[in-house]
Chain A
Amino acid sequence: MKRVGPFVLERRLAPSRGAVLGVSLLAVVLALLVAALIFWGYGVNPWHAYRVIFQGTLASPQGWAEVVRRAIPLILCGVGLVVAFRAQFWNIGAEGQLLAGAVAATGVALFSGLPDPWLLPAMFLAGFLAGAVWGMIPALLKVKLRVNDVISTLMLNYVMMYIVEWLVHGPWKGPTARGFAYSDLFPRAARLPLIPGTRIHWITLVVGVAMAIACAFLLSRTKLGYETRVVGQSQDAARYAGIDFLKVTLWVMLISGGLAGLAGAGEMAGVHYRLRSPAHISMGYGYTAIIVAWLARGSPLAAVVTALLFGLIFAAGDVIKVALAMPFQVTDVFNGLILFFLIGSELLMYWHIRWAPKRAASEG
């Protein structure tokens, strides 16, 4: 217990809901303030910048539509990462798993020869499986060979990135336009319907929300979810309790990688309709999803909300690029700042601040 002026600070053993929410909000606000400084340093009036962003994103239905569209892959990846983080599996590889899903979906769309009605479901299934496999490799490596999960998932991002580059410049190369390489365009049956007037491929959105609900259910009401949570909180207790570490890790990464793969399939079938260079498929969705999941603090349902927040940031990035002529990297800066403040403020959640001026206080 400490005294700072008229305030008394007491350390709590577990943070209250209100403290968590309040501190998270504070972190975001502080990040936005620092971002304002960066705007100012770039020669842009921050107030003007924020107004432009607001107008371009939240002030119109089209703006909202873009926010939602950007949030779709974040929802899927984010929910998957929430599950992985709950098992203390540091899946930094959502980016690669998303690309794996994109590759698989493209393969099905262009080469499978399936009849039209089966095309989209098959694409999504293939995307899920590809992402799942790409995610289970590091899981195996971690359990059997103790390979650090951060490094293995990250390295596989780069590996898959170059595989996509190779495909797009090599075997799957289609007609090139303006120096960029693409695969062939998908047939009509392999494209998702959009909400009229927007670019939202709503089927993927529904899938994403459904998955969020399913994962929330999984974590709280199933044996696997229970075992996942035990593994995530105390490996020693998990061993003692006879929980099969390998089984749980593989399942968790199957889900986490699979959901990212679904996101990749969604981007292919709903946005691009072709395989292209990785930087254009995923603008860092996989990495941003890490913050989405972190901010969601372990709740798949909360991840839907936080995904929208970061969808907003991505949409804002587009606006900034066009209206303010600042490069898209500013979103990375935003994201980094928010994450800094989030983790920096966590300690705050454990301190309860009370107003207790010295006169009234007789506590020691």
Chain B
Amino acid sequence: MMAAPGAGDLGGNQNSSPLVLLEGVTKSFPGVVANDRVTLDVRPGEVHALLGENGAGKTTLMNILYGLYRPDAGEIYVKGRKVNIRSPRDAIACGIGMVHQHFKLVYPHTVAENVALGLQGTPFFGPARVVERGLRELGERYNLPVDPKARVWQLSAGEQQRVEILKALYRGADVLILDEPTSVLTPQETGELFKVLARMKEEGHAVVFITHKLDEVMEAADRVTVMRRGKVIATLPVAETDKASLARMMVGRDVVFRISKAECTPGKEALVLRDLRAVNDRGLPALRGISLTVCRGEIVGIAGVAGNGQRELVEVICGLRRAQGGEVVVLGRPLTNRSPRTVADAGVAHIPEERLRMGIVPGMTVEENLILKKHHWPPFSSGPLLRLAEVRRFAEQAIEEYEIMTPSPKTPAKLLSGGNIQKLILARELSGEPGLVVAAHPTYGLDVGATELIRQLLLRQRDAGAGVLLVSEDLEEIVSLADRIAVMFRGEIMGIVEASEAELGEIGLMMAGTRSGMGDPR
């Protein structure tokens, strides 16, 4: 892909001098070297992909460029001049803008107020008014329409992302950094975003987008830099490479794209949902009549862009949220609107989306965390007392079986790496032979080794006869693990397909709101 001849004063020629040059950047945190002598250049009029797995150091590097971190060593040059970026203010002044993966927006405020925040040159009284006008103009030029008076929390994820981009453009960003931008978008919205990026190229901007998705790199980028474990592996034009080579560079070995699994033999029902209705934290309907069945011995994957009710669905099933209507039947027992303890005691394992906030108590030790939901069962307690010897025994067993890397069972859980924390949670939840496993984004943010282990564990549960409900944003993961796939959109199930017959295009349409004709909820 050749860059279009540049417009404006940025001269978007592929051979022109770099807009941004990072040279020899190094950054360490306690226990880990996040960036190791990284050198990267970004040219005007190009879309540059920064590819790597979770933990490769991509976000850290861009955070340094944006002034959120100070590097331990290395230099940054913008338009040929060495700069010292000590804070986002400096970065913005240098023409660098960033759209983070978790949007940095003030949700209760309006779009205009968000864009006006910290903006130089607006009037003291009523700045929002001026910004509203500017936003309308900018939105037209870049094809990013958004209502400046709307309150951010009312917008969809895609619209919120537009606000973030407009925020950066309003401040005169020449270089726009996007951190995992498609993680909140449907396939159609992703296509729209890529068109916007092409438009920005035409206007002479440079775009750096951080991703771990190979398809996106091949489709949208001009050049790609692959990072692994803090080091740059290679930088090359996308035209000169392919998915397999990139994957190998990203991971360091050949990656198997499909997981082998045994044939599915579903038994009795593990979970039955009938016409489930619930509202979200803002009082808006999140579940609008969900009906679904998960049998023992099968994995049902819930696909869909985050924010379409998946979180509320998991919470209702596990007793953490009230359902306004409908039924939840777990392993034959009606458990609608019962307490989380009742649901857990009924044999439901819940692997929560938010590991650190919900899944563990970070300040408590590994062994104390391993008994978190079962502490009131024998053998861990008798009467009002805890039986510490039993707890220790269980902990030692679990640590060995699940290969949890920890100096001792008495180490505070927060010192463990993300993968080991997840292993801890699985060790806890999967002990006791649950009949239903509800797993929400179980491999999010984990490295390849931990991811593979966790997927194997889920498959093993399925083979052992448990029903598994898997919610994930990673479509590839769902397609490779699940036996059946249900797609959620705006609180409803758009369709259910057999995984073996699934087509990504059809699923993508369902994720964006088109109902499928086939598929039965059983």
- CB atoms of A and B under 8 A apart anywhere in the complex? yes
**Cα distance, A230 to B73, chains bound together (Å):** 41
Contacts of A244 in B (CB 8 A): 339, 341
Which of the 9-residue segments A115-123, A216-224, A327-335 touches chain B?
A216-224
| B8-16, B38-46, B48-56, B381-389 - interface stretch | B381-389
Chain B hits for A12, CB < 8 A: 30
Residue A48 CB within 8 A of the other chain: no
Contact status B386-A221, CB under 8 Å: yes
A227 proximity list for chain B (CB < 8 A):
375
CB-CB under 8 A for A236 and B357, given A221-B385, A223-B381, A241-B373: yes
Give every chain B residue within 8 A of A13 (Cβ-Cβ): 30, 412, 414-415
In this assembly, does A242 line the interface, its C-beta being within 8 Å of a C-beta of chain B?
A: yes
B320 within 8 A of A: yes
Once the chains bind, are B363 and A233 in contact (CB under 8 Å)?
yes
CA distance A329 to B357 in the complex (A): 43
Set of chain A residues within 8 Å of B361, measured between Cβ atoms: 229-230, 233-234, 237
Complex-state Cα separation, A10 to B72, whole angstroms: 14
Report B93-105 CB contacts with A as 1/0, cut-off 8 Å.
Answer: 0000000000000
B408 vs chain A, min Cβ distance (A): 13
- Which chain A positions have C-beta within 8 A of B350? 240
Task: State whether A230 touches B30 (Cβ < 8 A).
Answer: no
Contact B352 A364 (CB under 8 A): no
B360 to A226, Cβ gap below 8 A?
A: no
Q: How far is the CA of A226 from the CA of B354 in the complex (A)?
A: 22
With A11-B30, A239-B320 in contact, do A221 and B359 touch (Cβ < 8 Å)? no
* A229-B373 Cα distance, complex, nearest whole Å: 14
Interface bits B472-502 vs A (CB < 8 Å: 1, else 0): 0000000000000000000000000000000
From A11, which residue of chain B is reached at the shortest CB distance?
B30
Q: Is B211 an interface residue (CB 8 A)?
A: no
| Residue pair B386, A230 in contact (C-beta under 8 Å) | no
Which of A222, A223, A224 has the most C-beta atoms of chain B within 10 angstroms of its own C-beta?
A: A223
Contacts of A243 in B (CB 8 A): 341
Q: Check A14 for interface membership: any CB of B closer than 8 A.
A: yes
Q: Is A325 an interface residue (CB 8 A)?
A: no
A221 to B386, CA, bound (A): 5
Interface residues on B, range: 35 or more
Chain A residue numbers with a CB within 8 Å of B72 are 1, 364
Task: Contacts A234-B361, A364-B26 given; indicate if A222 touches B375 (C-beta within 8 A).
Answer: no
A240 partner residues in chain B, CB cutoff 8 A:
320, 340, 350, 352, 358-359, 373
Chain A residue total in the interface (Cβ 8 A): 26
Chain B residue at minimal CB-CB distance from A10: B30
For A240, the closest partner residue in chain B by CB is B358
Q: Which of A1, A224, A241 contacts B340 (CB 8 A)?
A: A241
CB of A251, distance to nearest CB on chain B (Å): 11
Q: Given A223-B375, A364-B73, A239–B340 Cβ distance below 8 Å?
A: yes
Indicate if B28 sits at the interface (CB-CB under 8 A).
Answer: yes
B213 CB–A CB distance under 8 Å: no
**Could you tell me if A222 and B28 are in contact, using CB atoms closer than 8 angstroms?**
no
Q: Establish whether residues A229 and B364, one from each chain, have CB atoms under 8 Å apart when the complex forms.
A: yes
Q: Point out the residue from A225, A226, A229, A234 that lies within 8 Å of B357, measured CB to CB.
A: A234
Tell me the complex Cα distance, A46–B190, Å.
72
Contact among A10, A222, A230 with B364 in the assembled complex (CB-CB below 8 Å): A230
B130, CB-defined interface residue at 8 Å = no
Contact of B376 among A223, A234, A237, A364 (CB under 8 A): A223
Which B residues are CB-close (under 8 A) to A239? 320, 340, 358
The digit string for B364-381, where 1 denotes a CB below 8 A from any CB of A, is 100010001101100001
A13 to B363, CA, bound (A): 10
The answer for the CA separation of A154 and B373 in the assembled complex, in Å, is 34
- A226 contacts B368, CB within 8 Å? yes
Q: Is the CB of B340 within 8 A of A234?
A: no
In B376-411, which residues have CB < 8 Å from any A CB? 376, 381, 384-386, 388
Task: Check if B375 sits within 8 Å of A226, measured CB to CB.
Answer: yes
CA distance A233 to B372 in the complex (A): 13
Cβ of B157 < 8 Å from any Cβ of A?
Answer: no
Residues of B within 8 A of A224 (CB): 384
In angstroms, Cα B341 to Cα A244, docked, is 9
Contact A242 B340 (CB under 8 A): yes
Who on chain B is nearest to A13 by CB? Answer: B415
Find chain A residues with CB under 8 A from B249 CB.
Answer: none
Q: Which residues of chain A come closer than 8 Å to B368, judged between CB atoms? A: 226
Contacts of B345 in A (CB 8 A): 242
Complex interface residues of chain A between 237 and 255 (CB less than 8 A to chain B):
237, 239-244
Residues of A within 8 A of B341 (CB): 241-244
Question: Which chain A residues border B26 with CB–CB below 8 Å?
Answer: 364
A364 to chain B minimum Cβ distance, whole angstroms, is 6
Residues of A within 8 A of B344 (CB): 241-242
- Rounded to whole angstroms, the CA-CA distance of A237 and B352 in the bound complex is 10
Which of chain A's residues have a CB closer than 8 A to the CB of B28?
1, 364
Residues 55 to 78 of chain B near chain A (Cβ within 8 Å)? 72-73
Chain A proximity of B350: nearest CB distance (Å): 7
Asked if B362 is at the interface of the complex by the 8 Å CB criterion, the answer is: yes
Contact with B along A4-28 (1 / 0, CB 8 A): 0000001111100000000000000
By beta carbon, the residue of chain B nearest A243 is: B341
- The distance in angstroms between the C-alpha atoms of A240 and B376, with both chains bound, is 14
Distance (whole angstroms) from the CB of A15 to the closest CB of chain B: 11
Q: How far is the CB of B279 from chain A (nearest CB, A)?
A: 18
Q: Which residues from 192 to 244 on chain A have a C-beta closer than 8 Å to any C-beta of chain B?
A: 221-227, 229-230, 233-234, 236-237, 239-244
| Residues of B participating in the A interface, judged by any CB pair closer than 8 Å | 26, 28, 30, 72-73, 319-320, 339-345, 350, 352, 354, 357-364, 368, 372-373, 375-376, 381, 384-386, 388, 412, 414-415
Measuring CB to CB, which residues of chain A are less than 8 angstroms from any residue of chain B? Answer: 1, 10-14, 221-227, 229-230, 233-234, 236-237, 239-244, 364
19 contacts between A and B (CB under 8 A): A12-B30, A13-B30, A14-B414, A223-B381, A223-B386, A224-B384, A226-B368, A233-B362, A234-B358, A234-B363, A237-B361, A239-B320, A240-B350, A240-B352, A240-B358, A241-B372, A244-B339, A364-B26, A364-B28
Known: A1-B30, A233-B363, A237-B358. 16 other contacts (CB 8 A): A1-B72, A13-B415, A221-B388, A222-B385, A230-B372, A233-B361, A233-B364, A237-B359, A237-B361, A240-B352, A240-B373, A241-B375, A242-B340, A242-B343, A244-B341, A364-B73
Shortest 7 CB-CB contacts between residues of A and residues of B: A242-B341, A242-B340, A240-B358, A236-B358, A233-B363, A241-B373, A234-B361
